[in-house]
Amino acid sequence: MGTEEQNLPAKDARHSRVFAALDRFRIEIPSWGFANTGTRFGKFLQPAAATSLEEKFADAGEVNRLTGCTPTVALHVLWDLPQGESDVARVRALEAEHGVRAGSINPNLFQEQEYKFGSIANPAPAVRKKAIGHLLESAAIAKALKVRDVSLWVPDGSNYPGTQSVRRRIAWMEEALLATCEALEETQRLLIEYKPFEPAFYHTDIADWGMALHLARVCGPKAKVLVDTGHHAQATNIEQIVAWLLHTGSLGGFHFNDRKYADDDLTLGSIDPYQLFRIFQEMMSAGENADADVAYMIDQSHNMKGKVEAMVQSVVTAQELYARAALIDQKELAKLQDACRLVEAEELFRDAFWTDVRPLVRAWRTARGLAEDPLSALRGGGYVERRAEERRERNSGGSSAYA
């Protein structure tokens, strides 16, 4: 027996739970993870970075071909769909060519000059009107593309105490989000993302899950909360927030990424894989299909690592952590919890986390006709080198951030 097989858990319930989990696991990848991005101090260009929607779809298609679990790509309206609804035919052609579909539609309320003092929470009625117009246009694009989710992050806030009325801004946001939800089909959703700070440093209008949940409730059942793992104060118990959102039927999706300090957008699992494992475990504790209506999405920008490589690495890490969470026998865990057998419960939990599932994940890939090791298949296939040749000229300077 080869070492690979020796490392596999016996073909038992754990084994089939992991296979079933990997069969259902899907994670959306962001178009902006393939483009040149930077920090506020500067930007280092990569020769293979995608410079157009066409190139982003090509890269997303390659990630899906290698991993088999990223069938959709999140789009940012201003960066990807500058012609609005007229871009729909273009997207359709790219979907057919690259085998990945358009995923969540992300409005952009954070880069235009008018939004210096806010977008949907700006005291100026004309600016709020423009922002609502953009949200309605994003909803129309989502409808035309037959995409379920409009995924909204609102950057609004203020930098100095006393300079804005937090309370009046709440009412303005309620009005804008309600109008957006009314424009959505019954089957569509508005995902409301929160973030404690940045770009605002004193108050952010949607700073935490309580505020996002309130706004979602004002909008009704079409609106849900989106949890970005990088958007919490240090030491926040994110899986507890997940538990509450699940309990209240208000969890819409996740933006996964990792961080050491703030919203660092590092590749997921790179700093604290146990965090993502605990989130996946919380999802599974709510039942095998609890995540059927929860969008798993990656929200990262790769400034140092190669972009396609970083994305494949993140997707593979997500699969591995999801598989580890699937090792847990939920009934057994519940029994131990109810009997307050603390150490045994914790050990059951930890044993799953510490089990090396990689042989099992490789076996699953082989069984499903996928590359056994997506990262080495990427390297061996020469995709990045070919794209670098084609795109080098376009990446030699001057292109705008995220374009």
Q: Which residue is nearest to ligand PSV (CB)?
A: 153
Residue 255 vs 324, nearer CB to ligand PSV = 255
Among residue numbers 105 through 144, which ones bind ligand PSV (CB under 6 A)?
Answer: 106
222 binds Mn ion (CB under 5 A): no
Per-residue contact track with Mn ion, 259 to 288, x per CB under 5 A? ----x-------------------------
- Only segment of 165-173, 183-191, 248-256, 351-359 that touches Mn ion (CB under 5 A): 248-256
Shortest reach from residue 397's CB to ligand PSV, in Å: 22
387 binds Mn ion (CB under 5 A): no
DSSP character at residue 267? P
Distant-in-sequence, close-in-space partners of 312: CB < 8 Å, separation ≥ 6: 63, 66, 67, 374, 375, 378
Strand 149-153 and strand 189-193: pairing?
A: parallel
Collapsing DSSP to helix, strand or coil, 83 comes out as coil
Per-residue contact track with ligand PSV, 217 to 236, x per CB under 6 A? -----------x--------
Euclidean distance between CA atoms 178 and 217, whole angstroms: 10
14 binds ligand PSV (CB under 6 A): no
Euclidean distance between CA atoms 253 and 351, whole angstroms: 27
The one of Mn ion, ligand PSV, none whose footprint includes residue 14, by CB under 5 to 8 A per kind, is: none
Degrees, nearest 5: CA angle 55-230-36: 25
149 binds Mn ion (CB under 5 A): no
Among 62, 205, 228, 282, interactor with Mn ion by CB under 5 A = 228
Euclidean distance between CA atoms 75 and 81, whole angstroms: 8
195 binds ligand PSV (CB under 6 A): yes
Shortest reach from residue 219's CB to Mn ion, in Å: 19
List the beta bridge partners of residue 101: 72
Residue 80 vs 263, nearer CB to Mn ion = 263
List the beta bridge partners of residue 29: 73
Number of residues that bind ligand PSV (CB under 6 A): 10
Strand 189-193 and strand 223-228: pairing?
A: parallel
Shortest reach from residue 73's CB to ligand PSV, in Å: 14
299 binds Mn ion (CB under 5 A): yes
Cα separations in angstroms, 306 against 44, 179, 312, 388, 396: 11, 40, 10, 11, 16
Of 183, 175, 179, 188, whose CA–CA distance to 222 is shortest?
Answer: 188
End-to-end Cα, the chain, rounded Å: 51
282 binds ligand PSV (CB under 6 A): no
The one of Mn ion, ligand PSV, none whose footprint includes residue 32, by CB under 5 to 8 A per kind, is: ligand PSV
56 binds Mn ion (CB under 5 A): no
Cα separations in angstroms, 142 against 262, 267, 341, 388, 402: 30, 27, 49, 32, 21
The one of Mn ion, ligand PSV, none whose footprint includes residue 280, by CB under 5 to 8 A per kind, is: none
Shortest reach from residue 302's CB to ligand PSV, in Å: 11
Collapsing DSSP to helix, strand or coil, 78 comes out as helix
- How many CB atoms are closer than 10 A to CB 344? 15
Euclidean distance between CA atoms 352 and 320, whole angstroms: 11
Per-residue contact track with ligand PSV, 283 to 302, x per CB under 6 A? ----------------x-x-
- Give the binding site for Mn ion (CB under 5 A): 228, 255, 263, 299
